[in-house]
A and B are shown apart, each in its own frame.
Chain A
Amino acid sequence: DAKTTQPPSMDCAEGRAANLPCNHSTISGNEYVYWYRQIHSQGPQYIIHGLKNNETNEMASLIITEDRKSSTLILPHATLRDTAVYYCIVRVANQGGKLIFGQGTELSVKP
């Protein structure tokens, strides 16, 4: 079973920051938080991942709370092309590196 909980849907205005929350209260010390997104009719696209520290790349920022029980993905300036389903995944050790997807958050970016 997925170890994450996300809101089923969110809206964001174009040009504004999109903040997508994720709860993972049972995460273990060596497990990473991964974010992927899936645009309709495409495969999941890797966005970012982290263990303890906040991370930033060209696509997004990942903020992980100090107790590691929750995290937030931030898209700093959302565009219409960011409309997608966003999956927060805790990657579990000793299971072949597999990704166990939850239901995700459907983000709609509106003009």
Chain B
Amino acid sequence: DTEVTQTPKHLVMGMTNKKSLKCEQHMGHRAMYWYKQKAKKPPELMFVYSYEKLSINESVPSRFSPECPNSSLLNLHLHALQPEDSALYLCASSQGWDLNQPQHFGDGTRLSIL
């Protein structure tokens, strides 16, 4: 069972829509992550937040806009996406950046762009 909750589980949207993905954890973790996983590929990092501040952006297009409103929540705002953005979007959290602290993942949001 995962302690990182992602909503919605599935999302279908058109290229002109605006939608948001949500991620929530109540483990007191101060680092949160967004990963993208295409079919039959490994996850790839998109963003890292530490203490509610964006620390790393892996050159992600601006049509993806992350937000961390508080230490328990992480959002990913989507606008004007392309069909190639269809993927599984995974959220993860960890106590911090300490290499000895594992990241824990949610089960993701499966996004389809029409």
Q: Which of A's residues lie within 8 Å of B, judged by CB?
A: 2, 30-32, 34, 36, 41-46, 49, 51, 87, 91, 93, 95-104
Instruction: Give chain B interface residues in 42-83, CB to chain A under 8 Å.
Output: 42-45, 48, 50, 55-56
Q: Across the two chains, which residue of chain A brings its CB closest to B101?
A: A97
Secondary structure at the A interface, as helix, strand, loop or mixed, is loop
Distance of A91 Cα from B31 Cα, bound (Å): 15
B94 x A44 contact (CB < 8 A): no
Given A42-B107, A43-B106, A43-B108, do A102 and B45 touch, yes or no (CB 8 Å)?
no
Distance of A99 Cα from B50 Cα, bound (Å): 15
B99 x A43 contact (CB < 8 A): no
Give the Cβ gap from A91 to chain B, nearest Cβ, in Å: 5
Q: Among the interface residues A91, A97, A101, which one has the most CB atoms of the partner chain B within 10 A?
A: A97
Distance of A97 Cα from B98 Cα, bound (Å): 7
Interface size class of B (residues with CB under 8 A): 20 to 34
B102 x A46 contact (CB < 8 A): yes
Distance of A43 Cα from B34 Cα, bound (Å): 12
Give the Cβ gap from A105 to chain B, nearest Cβ, in Å: 12
Q: Which residues of chain B have C-beta atoms less than 8 A from A45's C-beta?
A: 105
Distance of A100 Cα from B58 Cα, bound (Å): 12
Q: Which residues of chain A have C-beta atoms less than 8 A from B6's C-beta?
A: 43
B90 x A44 contact (CB < 8 A): yes
A98 x B43 contact (CB < 8 A): no
Q: Which of B's residues lie within 8 Å of A, judged by CB?
A: 2, 4, 6, 31, 33, 42-45, 48, 50, 55-56, 90, 92, 94, 96-108
Q: Return the contact of B42 from the options A32, A49, A87, A93 (Cβ within 8 A).
A: A87
B48 x A96 contact (CB < 8 A): yes
Q: Across the two chains, which residue of chain A brings its CB closest to B31?
A: A97
Give the Cβ gap from B38 to chain A, nearest Cβ, in Å: 12
Q: Which residues of chain A have C-beta atoms less than 8 A from B94's C-beta?
A: 97
Give the Cβ gap from A48 to chain B, nearest Cβ, in Å: 9
Q: Return the contact of A99 from the options B45, B98, B106 (Cβ within 8 A).
A: B45
Given A30-B99, A96-B55, A96-B56, do A43 and B107 touch, yes or no (CB 8 Å)?
yes
Q: Which residues of chain A have C-beta atoms less than 8 A from B55's C-beta?
A: 96
